[in-house]
């Protein structure tokens, strides 16, 4: 507890604003309707894979200086609620709002048929984010400096984005690729394998069910099965690539890139934040996306798959504690009443993770 008190009393702040751009996403902001199993409907809920990814990154930011280096785009139509703008602005990110009063904001419906089955459909036309959109919003210099890019798209679109960035010679980056669930299957395996053999650093992250579907297998349902199953990706991804399976209640399981000396990979498991407190899980919407946004930030700051995986589980645990998005207190940097140091401390203590102290991990996230 003394360590936690020290973290609370002496928050780490970067010594300058020269961090540079850290993370972006090509995922969209979508205004959601959430239809629960009992018929209850929630409207005007912030959603979309891009929003949840950047929210996840925000949850594991140590300071306002880190938050402002999260770069993303929100397309606002004529129906965009001002209250949502206020919420997003309170996070202090480097968000770029694009306004178009000739169209509706992209809206979607989330229909929960049971605890594990969610159906989604677009209710208004979507507006995708492209490489040219990034350039138009921030310029080539910012785009070249970004450390990590979260891609939520099909294999074909992923290849197109990687090709366009390579043509502009914008420098080495890490790409965390979240495939579209319906397109992560054997039919699209040839295109997916092309992504997994790219020269760029790609971290491939389907959830466990999607990963199994890609290989034509049944989803592994127990942790020991996942720990064994992830080795099937060993020969599918390039030696410098990694794979992270998001496993819901079981947390996440990662297969590292090959060590440059031993040529061996490592399997890394971290439990879900609420594995020991499942009663606190209210709505799983956005848990996987927020995991990856936090993972992107953790990895961009540390280049450490362990730290990134823990960040992902911290953020996902926060996002699923309510319907919609967690409450952020700008003055205390608390999400749902807890600071980042408090969440780190709780997680490490609850799951007896001894290779890090809370202070060590917080310092790594405080450049």
**Could you write out the DSSP letters of every residue in 4-70?**
HHHHHHS----SSS-----EEE-PPPEEEEEE-TTS-EEEEEEE-HHHHHHHHHHHT--SHHHHTTB
Structure-derived torsion over alpha carbons of residues 274, 276, 279, 281, reported in degrees to the nearest 10:
10
- Indicate whether 10 belongs to any domain: no
- Indicate whether 344 belongs to any domain: no
SS3 188: helix
Which residue, 122, 54, 110, is CA-closest to 300?
54
- Indicate whether 114 belongs to any domain: no
The H helix count followed by the E strand count for the chain is 14, 15
- Indicate whether 5 belongs to any domain: no
Cα–Cα distance, 100 to 78 (Å, whole number)? 7
pLDDT of residue 99: 97
Domains in the chain, number: 1
- Indicate whether 158 belongs to any domain: yes
pLDDT of residue 12: 46
The one-digit pLDDT tens for each residue of the chain (367 residues) are 555 555 554 444 443 457 899 999 999 999 999 888 888 898 999 999 999 999 999 999 999 999 999 999 999 999 999 999 999 999 999 999 999 999 999 999 988 776 666 788 999 999 999 999 999 999 999 999 999 999 999 999 999 999 999 999 887 799 999 999 999 999 999 999 999 999 999 999 999 999 999 999 999 999 999 999 999 999 999 999 999 999 999 999 999 999 999 999 999 999 999 999 999 999 888 999 999 999 999 999 999 999 999 999 999 999 999 989 999 999 999 999 999 999 999 999 999 999 999 999 999 999 8
The Cβ of residue 41 has, within 10 Å, a number of other Cβ atoms equal to: 10
Question: For the whole prediction, is pTM greater than 0.85?
Answer: yes
Which residue, 265, 339, 350, is CA-closest to 7?
339
pLDDT of residue 11: 46
The boundaries of the domain holding residue 96 are: 20-27+49-106+130-336
Return the residue matching tokens 């959603």. Answer: 47
Element holding 244 (H helix, E strand) = strand 242-246
Alpha helices in the chain (DSSP H): 2-9, 49-59, 64-67, 82-90, 131-138, 140-145, 155-167, 189-195, 208-214, 223-229, 287-302, 305-319, 340-350, 358-364
- Indicate whether 3 belongs to any domain: no
Return the residue matching tokens 């794979």. Answer: 243
Cα–Cα distance, 137 to 171 (Å, whole number)? 19
User: How many residues belong to the chain?
Assistant: 367
pLDDT of residue 117: 64
- Indicate whether 231 belongs to any domain: yes
CATH of the domain at 239: 3.40.1190.20
- Indicate whether 276 belongs to any domain: yes
CA-to-CA separations, 53 to 28, 177, 178, 194, 261, in angstroms, rounded: 10, 12, 11, 25, 33
Element holding 109 (H helix, E strand) = strand 107-112
pLDDT of residue 116: 61
Rg (CA), the chain: 19
Q: Which residues have CB under 8 Å from 272's CB, separation 6+?
A: 247, 248, 249, 250, 251, 252, 313, 316, 317
Q: Which residues are 351's β-sheet partners? A: none
């Amino acid at each position: 507890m003394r360590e936690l008190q020290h973290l609370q009393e002496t928050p780490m702040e970067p010594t300058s604003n020269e961090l540079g751009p850290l993370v972006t996403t090509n995922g969209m902001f979508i205004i959601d309707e959430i239809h629960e199993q009992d018929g209850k409907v929630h409207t005007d809920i912030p959603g979309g894979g891009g929003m949840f990814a950047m929210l996840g990154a925000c949850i594991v930011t140590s300071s306002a200086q880190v938050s402002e280096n999260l770069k993303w785009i929100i397309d606002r139509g004529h129906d965009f609620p001002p209250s949502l703008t206020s919420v997003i602005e309170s996070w202090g990110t480097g968000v770029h709002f694009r306004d178009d009063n000739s169209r509706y904001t992209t809206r979607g419906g989330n229909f929960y048929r049971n605890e594990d089955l969610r159906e989604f459909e677009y209710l208004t036309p979507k507006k995708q984010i492209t490489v040219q959109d990034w350039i138009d919003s921030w310029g080539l210099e910012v785009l070249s400096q970004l450390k990590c890019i979260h891609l939520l798209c099909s294999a074909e679109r992923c290849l197109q984005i990687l090709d366009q960035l390579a043509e502009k010679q914008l420098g080495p980056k890490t790409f965390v690729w979240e495939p579209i669930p319906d397109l992560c299957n054997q039919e699209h395996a040839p295109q997916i394998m092309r992504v997994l053999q790219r020269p760029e650093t790609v971290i491939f992250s389907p959830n466990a069910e999607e990963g199994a579907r890609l290989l034509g297998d049944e989803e592994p349902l127990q942790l020991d099965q996942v720990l064994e199953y992830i080795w099937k990706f060993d020969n599918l991804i390039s030696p410098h690539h990694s794979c992270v399976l998001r496993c819901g209640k079981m947390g996440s399981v990662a297969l590292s890139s090959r060590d440059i000396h031993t040529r061996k990979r490592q399997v890394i498991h971290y439990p879900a934040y609420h594995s020991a407190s499942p009663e606190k899980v209210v709505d799983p919407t956005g848990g996987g996306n927020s995991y990856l946004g936090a993972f992107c930030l953790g990895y961009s700051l540390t280049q450490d798959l362990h730290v990134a995986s823990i960040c992902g589980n911290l953020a996902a645990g926060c996002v699923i504690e309510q319907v919609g998005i967690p409450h952020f207190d700008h003055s205390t940097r608390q999400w749902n009443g807890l600071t980042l140091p408090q969440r780190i401390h709780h997680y490490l203590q609850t799951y007896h993770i001894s290779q890090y102290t809370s202070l060590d991990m917080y310092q790594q996230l405080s450049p």
